[in-house]
Amino acid sequence: MNVKEMEKQCTIIRRDIINMLADAGSGHPGGSLSVVEIMVALYYGKMRTNSQNPKDPNRDLFLLSKGHAAPCQYAILGEMGYFDKAEFKNFRQLHSILQGHPDTKKCPGVEASTGSLGQGISIATGMALGAKTAKKDTQVYTILGDGECQEGQVWEASMFAANYKLDNLTVFLDHNGLQIDGTNDEVMSLGDIHAKFASFGYEVFEVDGHDIQAILDAVNTPVSGKPKMIIAKTVKGKGVSFMENQVNWHGAAPNEEQRAQALKELEV
């Protein structure tokens, strides 16, 4: 897909997210909508994937460390043919392959079960070291939330990634400024997050997290001997006017009226 096609795909993914959440009556719209361009750029514009053989040994690996944004990953995996899109209706239902947070035992294309904040990046660093040890050229990608960075485990994983020179690991920070119950600054300020990640040994980039070309440019910039951190400035709830930058849309589903309004704003 070229960038224009990916931009259009983002709208399709946003529509799927809204429909999944409205059908389920629960879930996390804000943080799902803020990562759409990052994940579309990775899945459609960068990673080696194989929807017909999700365990293809030559695939790259993606882990959603901020696992509550699962609807975005499910929308992409469904649109790419990892499973039947009819499954979208079963999001958050008992025994569904589409659990509220990604479940690697249930959902094809999900590399690890995530949702307990901090764990995804830790698993990603282990996978990146594993690939290097096996002398494979596997690239590992993960996305952190900014609230998630308040988890100590994020920093242990970062220290590990630098120590083992994991230049096959790319970490995105979805920097939307909001978390579950307020702004980052109201809850626990991240301070100079760029300097912090740089001091932990990352090569740090900053991009507009809704600019697919900028995301791909950062992803494609070669880095040697260091893990890569891409700080993506994003808008929580991006694409749906009444959800944008609203902390109360962290974990609430649209009702039927709100679904209709959102879909009207997301015409393909």
Residue type, 146: D
Residues 6+ apart with CB under 8 A from 125: 157, 160, 161, 164, 166, 169, 227
- What part of residues 77-106 is at the interface with ligand TPP (CB under 6 A)? none
Q: Which of 265, 209, 249 is nearest to 35 (CA)?
A: 209
Helices marked H in the chain — which ranges?
Answer: 3-24, 29-33, 36-45, 70-80, 119-133, 152-163, 184-187, 193-199, 212-220, 256-265
Q: Does 146 bind Mg ion (CB under 5 A)?
A: yes
Total site size for ligand TPP, rule CB under 6 A: 19
Dihedral, CA atoms, 89, 93, 95, 97, nearest 10 degrees?
Answer: 40
Give CA–CA dist 113/210, Å, rounded. 26
- Between 35 and 166, CB nearer to ligand TPP: 35
Structure tokens at 194: 């760029």
Both tokens of 94, joined, read 């008992």
> Is 168 or 176 the residue whose CB approaches Mg ion more closely?
176
Per CB under 6 A, the list member of 38, 39, 61, 68 interacting with ligand TPP is 68
Site for Mg ion in 162-191 (CB under 5 A): 176, 178-179
Q: Which two tokens stand for residue 161?
A: 């990634």
Q: How far is the CB of 133 from ligand TPP (least distance, A)?
A: 28
In the bound complex, what is the minimum distance in angstroms from residue 93's beta carbon to ligand TPP? Answer: 20
What is the nearest approach in angstroms of Mg ion to the Cβ of residue 58? 33
Out of 103, 148, 167, 203, name the contact with ligand TPP by CB under 6 A.
148
Contact between 147 and ligand TPP per CB under 6 A = yes
Q: Which helix (H) or strand (E) holds 174?
A: strand 169-175
Nearer to ligand TPP, 60 or 174 (CB): 174
From residue 109, how far is each of 78, 83, 199 by CA, in Å? Answer: 10, 9, 33
> Using CB under 6 A, which of 27, 78, 145, 227 touches ligand TPP?
145
| Residue 176 interacts with ligand TPP (CB under 6 A): yes or no | yes
Of 41-49, 111-119, 195-203, 210-218: span binding ligand TPP (CB under 6 A): 111-119
Give min distance, CB of 258 to Mg ion, in A: 21
Q: Which residues bind Mg ion (CB under 5 A)?
A: 145-147, 176, 178-179
Q: Which residues bind ligand TPP (CB under 6 A)?
A: 30-31, 34, 66, 68, 115-117, 145-148, 174, 176, 178-180, 236, 250
